[in-house]
Amino acid sequence: MTATKTTTSPAAAILIPATLLLLLSTAAQLSTACPPAKQTAENNPRLQKAYVALQALKRRITDDPKNITGGWCGADVCSYYGVFCATALDSPCELTVAGLDLNHGDIAGEFPDELGLLADLAVLHLNSNRFCGTLPESLPKLSLLHELDVSNNRLSGEFPSHILCLPKVKYVDIRFNNFCGKIPPAIFDKDIDALFLNDNHFDFEFPSNFGNSPASVIVIANVNVKGCIPASVGKMGKTLNELIVLNSGVTSCIPPEIGELGELKVLDLSFNRIKGELPESMAWMRSLEQLDVAHNELAGHVPEGICELPNLKNFTYSYNYFCGEPERCLHIRRVDDRQNCIAGRPDQRPAGECLAFLHRPPVHCDAHGCFAPPGHY
C-alpha cells in the first residue's frame, strides 16, 4: 500500500473546543451557597486525588521541550497549564478536574496508572505528543470521560480494549500511533459519535455488525482490512456523515446497501482493490458532497444517477477501468476521470491495458457486495 492521504475530519475541529468552553463556563457556576474559600488539593479531596495523578504523570515525562508541565507545582491544581476545573456533577459546591488538554506539547513519556484517579475527567486531549507504551489499565475508572484523543503519539500494543469499558465516551481518536492486531467488533456496538482508527498497524476483518455503529464519522484508513464491506453498512443511513476507508487493502465489491446512507456527505474508498461496478443505488445518496473511488479495479459505466446527485461537488474515479461515463458527470464542479478506458477522453489507459482487463475472468458480486463463487451468482 503506497497512498499517504491525510485523513482529518471537520467534526474534530468543531467538537473539541466546544467541550472545553463548556468546562470553563461551568467552573464559574459554583453555587452562591458554597463557602468562598479557594479550593485546592489541601482542602478538597477530589483535587487531592487529581494532584496525585498529575504529579505521577509529571514524573513519567522524560522530555518536555516547551516546559508545559514546569509550572505543575503546589496544591492549586486548577491553575496548572492544560488543566480545566469545573463543578462536580454530584456535588455543586466542589471543584474537580474535568479536562486535561496537552495537545501539541511534543511531550515524551508514558502514562501512569494513577491517571485513573481523575475520576471526574470528561475530556482527555493528549494528541501530537510523543507518549509511548499503552493506555493505562486504570482508564475505565474515568467513568465520565466523553472525549479521548491520544492521536499522533507513539503508543503501541493491541487495540486498547479498556476503551470499551468507558460508559460515557463519544469521541475516540487513536489515529497515527503504532497499535496493531485486531479491532474488536464490539467497538461498533458502542454509542460513539466519532471514531478515528486510521494510520495504525491494525489487521482485521470487517465485522458483520459494522453497521450497528451510531457514529457520524468513521475513519479506517491506512490499515489492513480483510473481508468485504458488509451489507449492514446501510443501517447507518440516519447517522453517518463521513466514511473514509482509503488505502486499507479492501478486496470487495460495493454492496448495494451503501445507497441507504442518505445522510452521508463524504465517502472515500480510494486506493483499495474494490472490483465490480458502482451500484445504481448510490443515486439515492442525496447528501453526498465528496465521492472518491480512485485507484481501484472498478469497471463498467458510471451510473448517471450518481452524477445527478444535487450536492455532489467532487467526484474522483480515476485509475479504474470504467469504459463509459454520462456527459452529466463532466459538469460536476470537480471531476477526475483520468486513467480509465473511456473512449474520447484525455489521459486514459493504453488500449492494450484496457483490452487485457476485459479478457480477465468477470467479477461477480453477490447481493451483499462480496465476491460470489462461480455458480453462486
Q: What is the CATH number of the domain that holds 211?
A: 3.80.10.10
Given this model, what pLDDT does residue 16 score?
47
Residue 149: CB atoms within 10 Å? 24
The C-alpha cell of 29 is what? 457556576
Inside any domain, residue 211 = yes
pLDDT in tens, 30-68: 555 676 689 999 999 999 999 999 999 999 999 999 999
Is residue 207 located within the same domain as residue 318? Answer: yes
pLDDT band at 22 (very low <50, low <70, confident <90, very high): low
Our count of domains for the chain comes to: 2
Asked whether residue 132 falls in the same domain as residue 217, the answer is: no
Q: What is the value of pTM for the model shown?
A: 0.90
Region 89-100 average pLDDT: 95
Note the pLDDT tens digit of each residue in 360-375. Answer: 888 887 766 677 665 5
| Predicted pLDDT at 373 | 64
Q: Give the span between the Cα atoms of 216 and 98, in whole angstroms.
A: 25
Residue 5: pLDDT over 70: no
Please report how many Cα atoms fall inside a 13 Å half-sphere around the Cα of residue 216, on the Cβ side. 10
160 and 268 in a single domain? The answer is no
pLDDT at 127 over 90: yes
Query: Residues 167, 225: one domain?
Result: no
- Bigger pLDDT: 12 or 226? 226
Domain boundary, last residue among 181, 215, 245: 181
Residue 18 falls within a domain, yes or no? no
The answer to whether residue 24 scores a pLDDT higher than 60 is no
In a domain, 187, yes or no: no
Q: What is the pLDDT of residue 8?
A: 47
- Neighbouring CB atoms inside 10 A of 127's CB total 21
- Domain co-membership, 110 together with 217: no
204 and 342 in a common domain = yes
Q: Is residue 13 part of a domain?
A: no
Dihedral sign for Cα atoms in the order 359, 360, 362, 363: negative
- 350/223 same-domain check: yes
pLDDT digits over 249-297, tens only? 999 999 999 999 999 999 999 999 999 999 999 999 999 999 999 999 9
Looking at the fold, whether 121 and 73 belong to one and the same domain comes out as yes
> Whole domain around residue 283: which residue ranges?
198-376
pLDDT score of 13: 41
